[in-house]
């Protein structure tokens, strides 16, 4: 307990009375498949059905995996299989090879989408917003170096947000 100075997380808005949280960026999430994937949209037509696609995902504790699995459960959508991998690169390669679909942060698959190696599969419905955040305990002593690091991170995060909205 107390061994970490700060944490960088991607999840819904983190809150707590014992932590200080700075949101860095709203993260866009996408469902992706290979260009040959037969699924072109995940909509009401799939509700209460088993789908042929394997869901390729990361570890169970991942916040966006839990959000997507909740989305599927609420609609009664059951993937044929679930493959769990701990590397986003491995997940992307499996999806590009046509082994299944995955729900990932857009920033991790932008290049592959632009190059036509992955396609976005639109989903009907709303998802909880995911944010990149930096957090630390409110009673944590912040050294001058850590304070400078946090300030630099927050400054650059404002630039990232501007780049996304082309300001």
Over the stretch 83-135, which tens digit does the pLDDT of each residue have?
999 999 999 999 999 999 999 999 999 999 999 999 999 998 888 888 999 99
Nearest CA to 32 out of 160, 158, 143, 120 is that of 120
pLDDT-based confidence at 161, cuts 50/70/90?
A: low
Q: Is the pLDDT of residue 166 over 70?
A: no
Is the whole-model pTM more than 0.85?
no
Q: Is the pLDDT of residue 25 over 80?
A: yes
- DSSP element (H, E) containing 147: helix 144-165
- DSSP element (H, E) containing 152: helix 144-165
CA 159 to each of CA 119, 156, 165: distance values in angstroms, whole numbers, following the listed order? 27, 5, 10
Res 163: pLDDT: 53
pLDDT-based confidence at 158, cuts 50/70/90?
A: confident
Please state, in angstroms and rounded to a whole number, the distance separating the CA atoms of residues 70 and 64.
10
According to DSSP, the β-strands at 50-57 and 78-84 are: parallel
């Amino acid at each position: 307990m107390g061994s970490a100075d700060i944490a960088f997380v991607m999840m819904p808005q983190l809150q707590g009375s014992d932590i200080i949280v700075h949101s860095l960026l709203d993260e866009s999430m996408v469902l992706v498949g290979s260009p040959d994937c037969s699924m072109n949209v995940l909509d009401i037509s799939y509700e209460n059905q088993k789908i042929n696609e394997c869901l390729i995902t990361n570890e169970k504790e991942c916040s966006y995996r839990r959000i997507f699995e909740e989305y599927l459960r609420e609609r009664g959508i059951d993937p044929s299989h679930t493959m769990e991998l701990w590397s986003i690169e491995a997940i992307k390669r499996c999806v590009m090879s046509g082994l299944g679909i995955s729900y990932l942060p857009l920033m991790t698959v932008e290049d592959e989408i632009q190059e036509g190696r992955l396609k976005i599969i639109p989903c009907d419905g709303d998802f909880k917003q995911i944010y990149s955040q930096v957090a630390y305990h409110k009673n944590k002593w912040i050294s001058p170096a850590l304070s400078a690091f946090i300030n630099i991170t927050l400054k650059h995060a404002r630039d990232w947000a501007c780049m996304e909205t082309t300001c």
